[in-house]
Structure 1
């Protein structure tokens, strides 16, 4: 029996155990979300022409953008996650999933943990909305209870798929069973790494901006493909099972970019067999 099953009951933990996801949870004001979006778009304006920067938004932006590191540590977020995983938390990654206005980008049905090489299924993704995430803009969609299944995946490499490999589950999903996880700026959903999830294209005139923070307990271990790094954001790490990350020292500093390059390389050994994404 996992620690998630034995932890003291709470409304968040109970819903998570039953459905594999919880939403919506308000974790900041709309003004705070707007300020984080402003900082993101200022960084995009300054560095967005650089292909490496665009990769950084999809892999460990918390290592080079201080405001992302700040979001991952917000007690409104980590407190809810701690109800499920316990008080000592690492961030395994914190990628942005951005769909531009009126674009065809989508995410196919998949399970996150299929690719991460963890010995445990104790993982929670906090998907934080910095812009409206609605059915029209391509919000997250979940199939309740599907976290109790482990299914095969196919790599499609579809051009418009936001996933690295265009990975999708190799079973047919009944679309009528899907829940549209609509969020307003400043709200989040929490989901299990095995729950079936996907999202449609953005058919609105505004960007759909989400930050997917991958939390694991410090007791977790990597068992396949090498060892990824992780950032301690709550409590203490008495295990040392992951290479430690350090918070950014400023905005896109040379030292932090070098740190990101090292950490991303280790991640690619696990996720992509050493290939670049």
Structure 2
């Protein structure tokens, strides 16, 4: 019997050939609707509730450290089943981000490669799952990918720090991507896509009348390490960690506890050194180190 999210040999080969795979049904639409309701209830409760940083910062960087629902989604059985198909049985949860575009807005994600600023080099042992909690369509600004682009090295990027760009540095590859080369990864609620860390991707504005609610979840093989030797944090979501290269984090049981906020600030500070290295200015989510 096929498990939720489990992918076939043909799908695995498609991922290896193209650098992405979609759509993969990992949960029912009813479950995804319930998750969206919980996310939006959390937003309403904490939008003006005395947090040190803007709520959007916690949603966009390492939400799994301070929000139990983010960690829950990162360890969802159906998603892990799909991820196991491309990374193998040992899976580290690295980060969870709420990537939400409000209706009728101009927010975009410029074409980029995920691993450019993560300090991990050109690696195969990382994949990103993109979970739809609302319809992700061309109209609502779904992700566009370039087939086979994961076979490139890390390409030159430039920082824009554009206010409409959802990326930390507004980073964009210095290569023009033709519209004909883009594949639109449309998803329905409860479906995910997977893409390789080197796959060129981005997304357009949300011109629909509904929020585009996407959850971005990064996974690593335990043997992957940061090239500069920095110690970072990740959670063993499935299998075994025989390498000990990642610090485990304390799984949150309540939103925004004092201990989880303290850990969040520690992680944000250490990741800033890598994410903003060489940048001319600070971004909205990472402060430029002195």
Q: Deviations over 1:4-61 (max 9, x none)?
A: xxxxx82232111011000000111111111111111111111113444221100111
Look up the match of 1:4.
none
Q: Which deviates the most, 221-230 or 88-97?
A: 221-230
Taking the aligned partners of 2:66 and 2:163, their CA distance within structure 1 comes to 27
1:224·1:270 contact (CA, 8 Å) conserved in 2? no
Taking the aligned partners of 1:121 and 1:152, their CA distance within structure 2 comes to 19
- Does 2:98 correspond to 1:99? no
Look up the match of 1:153.
157
2:75·2:93 contact (CA, 8 Å) conserved in 1? no
1:229·1:267 contact (CA, 8 Å) conserved in 2? no
Look up the match of 2:33.
34
Q: What is the TM-score normalised by the length of structure 2?
A: 0.89
1:229·1:266 contact (CA, 8 Å) conserved in 2? no
User: What secondary structure, in the 3-state scheme, does the structure 1 residue paired with 2:234 have?
Assistant: strand
C-alpha deviation, 1:251, in angstroms: 2.1
User: What secondary structure, in the 3-state scheme, does the structure 1 residue paired with 2:231 have?
Assistant: coil
Q: Deviations over 1:96-129 (max 9, x none)?
A: 1110010000010100111111143321000001
User: What secondary structure, in the 3-state scheme, does the structure 2 residue paired with 1:262 have?
Assistant: helix
Structure 1 residues 225, 270: closer, same or farther in 2, change over 3 A? Answer: farther
Q: What is the TM-score normalised by the length of structure 1?
A: 0.93
Identify unmatched segments of 5+ residues in structure 2.
1-7
Taking the aligned partners of 1:264 and 1:90, their CA distance within structure 2 comes to 18
The correspondence for 1:125, drawn from 128, 151, 169, is: 128
Taking the aligned partners of 2:161 and 2:228, their CA distance within structure 1 comes to 23
Look up the match of 1:10.
9
User: What secondary structure, in the 3-state scheme, does the structure 2 residue paired with 1:108 have?
Assistant: strand
Alignment RMSD (CA, Å): 1.6
Q: Deviations over 1:181-208 (max 9, x none)?
A: 0001100000001111010000011100
Q: Deviations over 1:163-183 (max 9, x none)?
A: 011100011111111111000
Aligned length: 269
C-alpha deviation, 1:225, in angstroms: 7.3
C-alpha deviation, 1:228, in angstroms: 2.3
The correspondence for 2:246, drawn from 239, 242, 245, is: 242
The correspondence for 2:60, drawn from 58, 61, 67, is: 58
Structure 1 residues 118, 176: closer, same or farther in 2, change over 3 A? Answer: same
Structure 1 residues 204, 225: closer, same or farther in 2, change over 3 A? Answer: farther
Taking the aligned partners of 2:129 and 2:264, their CA distance within structure 1 comes to 21
